[in-house]
Amino acid sequence: MKKKKKYNQKNPKKNRKEQQKPIFEGKIVEPMKDILFHVCLDDTNEIILGYLSGNMRRNRKRVMLGDKVLIEVLEDNYKKGRIISRLLPVPTSDSQTSMEQIKDDQQVKDPSELSKDTEITNIRSSNAPQSSDQEERRQEKRNTNDKNSTNRDLVD
């Protein structure tokens, strides 16, 4: 039985994984085929061809037009890269919408503002001017209820 020769070299695949490839942030400019996209890099505003990594294909992660992505650029050809992940969109808060939410919040209001609001709601609920039709209907209901109650008293 022959002994295998031991070589003093490292595994070439392991060496490839250890090398750090440059990673950039970019935005999808144009979807091409199934897994190919044109990506505009944020740093250099250069458009490169990106393809989905195997992990993204396997997990069926969708990439749409305008999505922010992380792309790993190949060392041999800087015009190609592998899309590693899709970045979540950063919520942009407009100052007006946040101020409107704060103004409407009951906890943030001053006590003077709260009393004004309660007065307005009380006026609307109890002493609000009503149309004559509504008043007449209510009066008729009261009259019919009174008649029914007197009829019941007579029967008893």
The model's pTM: 0.49
Q: What confidence score (pLDDT) does residue 139 get? A: 80
pLDDT at residue 54 is higher than 60? yes
Can you read off the two tokens belonging to residue 57?
């294909």
Could you state, in order of their start, the residue ranges of all structural domains in the chain?
A: 31-86
d(CA 146, CA 154): 13
pLDDT in tens, 96-150: 555 555 555 555 555 555 555 555 544 444 555 556 777 888 888 777 766 666 5
Out of 8-17, 23-32, 102-111, the most confident range is: 23-32
Q: 109, 48, 108: which is closest to 82 by C-alpha? A: 48
- Listing DSSP states for 60-73 in one string gives T----TT-EEEEEE
Assigned CATH class of 31-86: mainly beta
Over residues 52-78, mean pLDDT: 91
Q: Let me know: does 48 contact 39? Beta carbons within 8 Å.
A: yes
Is the pLDDT at 93 greater than 90? The verdict is no
Percent of all residues in the chain with a pLDDT value above 70, rounded to a whole number: 55
**pLDDT averaged over every residue in the chain:** 74
What DSSP string describes the chain?
-PPPPPP----HHHHHHHSPPPEEEEEEEEE-SSSEEEEEETTT--EEEEEE-HHHHHTT----TT-EEEEEE-SS-TTEEEEEEEPPPPPPPPHHHHHHHHHH-TTTS-HHHHHHHHHHHHHHHTS----HHHHHHHHHHHHHHHHHHHHHHHH-
- Four-point Cα dihedral 126, 131, 133, 134, nearest 10: -20
pLDDT score, position 51: 94
pLDDT at res. 26: 96
Q: Average pLDDT for residues 41-49, to the nearest whole number?
A: 93
**Per-residue pLDDT at 24 exceeds 70:** yes
Res. 31 pLDDT band, cuts 50 70 90: very high
